[in-house]
Amino acid sequence: MKQKIEQYYQHLKEQKILEGIDALLNWDQEAVMPAGAVEFRSEQLSYVSKKHHEISTDKAYVSLVNDLYESRSTLDSVDARSIEVSKKNLDKSIKLPTEFVEEAAKATSLSHQAWLDAKSKEDFSIFQPHLEKQIELKKKYANYIDSSKPIYDVLIDDFEEGMTGEKIDAIFHNLKTELKSLLSKIKSKEKTGEFSKFKFETPKVKEFIQFMTARIGFDFNRGAAGEVHHPFESSLSPNDIRINMSYYHKDLSSSITGAIHELGHGLYEQNIDKKYHHTDLSAGVSLGIHESQSRLLENMVGRSKAFWNYFGNLMSDYLTFEPISPPSTPLRMTLGGEIQVENLVNDLNIVKPSLIRIEADEVTYNMHIILRYEIEQMMLNDQIKISELPEVWNSKMKELLNITPDKLSTGCLQDTHWSIGAIGYFPTYTLGNLVAGQLWNKFQSENPNFQTELLEGDFSSYFNWFKENIWQHGSFIKPNDLVKKVTGEELKSEYFIEYLRSKYL
Ligand SMILES: [Zn+2]
């Protein structure tokens, strides 16, 4: 048995090496690759995935996993859970015929290109046949994996183990009602434009963000901050976590909140216990739990008054403030002087229905997700024709947020997900918010002095609590069990709603 375990980890190591190479190639493509390299790069990427598929479905590996899975009750708990995760992945890849995998990969690359084209030309007909194909492929996929389950349950299981359409229906139904009532009560606020008072110098903003992320706890010896078009976090190895930021022109607040968000993902990946590094448990357990860590740091911590009381003033060490009218000599910003922390925090927390999901505030954001979830169900269950999507989208926007997109690029063509076959993915964003609300409640009850510590820039209780309760476990504990273990309850929307209520009403 011991020998088999060793062989299993040896096989797994090869897979992990290839996954790291794949992540590095992808990261490089987003961050520094010259545009002319795209063809060679896609060949390199496709070679790596082919190799990965070969070794992860290799006969010797398959029989090792199957044998070990049979005897998992006799194994050490880490080995047993790693085998369980490997077996689950293996069972899925083995059920898919190679022709299907190739067909899906090809259709997806064409579909993504068509979506870009349709979005820039504001022409849905360019994307429509490709989306029809994606839906057809998803139905086929679900049928190969488990024809006894509803399609949606099969799809979401790839992103959030154990989640089902039925559970989401129940959670979202309650959430929708509560959000509607909350939105009708929130008083609208106007932007004070505090962030736009800063002179925007990219290198200085980068320096400030680097300082801020290190101050909160990111380990730059085992990670790096890259610059990309759309922010994301990627793990090249357990000791090489990249948090990739965008420095939006003239939009300091989005640059900063986006960076805090990716930092939340990065801290999770960076603090997984070493004992999982060479197992199949070496990454965050699910998209929902991952998103809970990024949203919690971004919204609950990073948009709070205490946070900005500390960082607002430090920002002036990095950025200069020049008044528009003379005298034009740069002034040293001071708290309560040129920087009004209240205004700054106000600007970061304005709730207002808007068309674009990624720009939405933390209250209306979830309506954008509910809309996408409901439409995905309709598309997969043939309740609408794909040609009707723009219309259905607009009427749902009207129903949920009382606004109507003026064009397709701010309506149903805004997100890339469906074009790359990521259907069943959207709910994980809102699940992340709900988990964040529930964890935040628990964290605060166990760390009543955190707000005072935050005023001093002391992140130690935040860092230690999340490391202890969430980060260190990697994928060892399943997402539902993790929420239950830490908070003592199943996931529910009440804590998140309560957080919003106490913040905005
Ligand atoms: Zn995220």
Sheet containing strand 240-245, edge to edge, reads 223-227, 240-245, 232-237
- Average pLDDT over the chain, rounded to whole? 92
- The pLDDT score that the predictor gives to residue 321 is 61
| C-alpha torsion sign, points 447, 448, 450, 456 | negative
CA of 434 to the centre of ligand 1 (A): 14
Residue 143 token pair: 């049928």
From the candidates 262, 269, 291, 298, give the one annotated as an active-site residue.
Answer: 262
- Give the pLDDT confidence of 167-178 residue by residue, as tens digits: 999 999 999 999
**Ligand 1 centre from 261 Cα, in Å?**
6
The Cα angle at residue 234 between residues 233 and 238, in degrees rounded to 5:
120
Residue 409 pLDDT more than 80? yes
Report the C-alpha gap between 404 and 397 in whole angstroms.
6
Whether omega before 327 lies within 30 degrees of 0, making that bond cis, reads: yes
- Give the model confidence (pLDDT) of 230-262 as tens digits: 789 999 999 999 999 888 766 788 889 999 999
pLDDT at 396: 97
- How many A from CA of 245 to the centre of ligand 1? 12
**Would you call 262 a catalytic residue per the annotation?**
yes
Between these two residues, 188 and 293, which has the higher pLDDT value?
Answer: 293
**pTM of the shown model:** 0.92
- Asked if 22 and 49 count as a contact pair (C-beta separation under 8 A), the reply is yes
Q: How confident is the model at residue 322 (pLDDT cuts 50, 70, 90)?
A: low
Asked if residue 479 lies in contact with residue 497, where contact means CB atoms within 8 angstroms, the answer is no
pLDDT-based confidence at residue 97 (cuts at 50, 70, 90): confident
Strand-pair partners of 227: 245
Share of the chain above pLDDT 70, in %: 96
Q: What is the pLDDT of residue 94?
A: 86
User: Which residues lie near ion ligand 1 (Cβ < 5 Å)?
Assistant: 294
412 three-state secondary structure: coil
Q: Tokens at residue 336, please?
A: 């309560």
Distance 298 CA to ligand 1 centre (A): 10
Total residues found in the chain within this entry = 505
Question: Which of these ranges, 166-175, 320-329, 421-430, has the smallest mean pLDDT?
Answer: 320-329
- Would you state the pLDDT for residue 328? 46
CA 360 – ligand 1 centroid, Å: 14
Query: Would you state the structure tokens that stand for residue 19, as one six-digit string?
Result: 């996954």
Compute, in angstroms, the gap from residue 297 CA to the centroid of ligand 1.
Answer: 11
Give the model's confidence band at 83: pLDDT under 50 very low, under 70 low, under 90 confident, else very high: very high
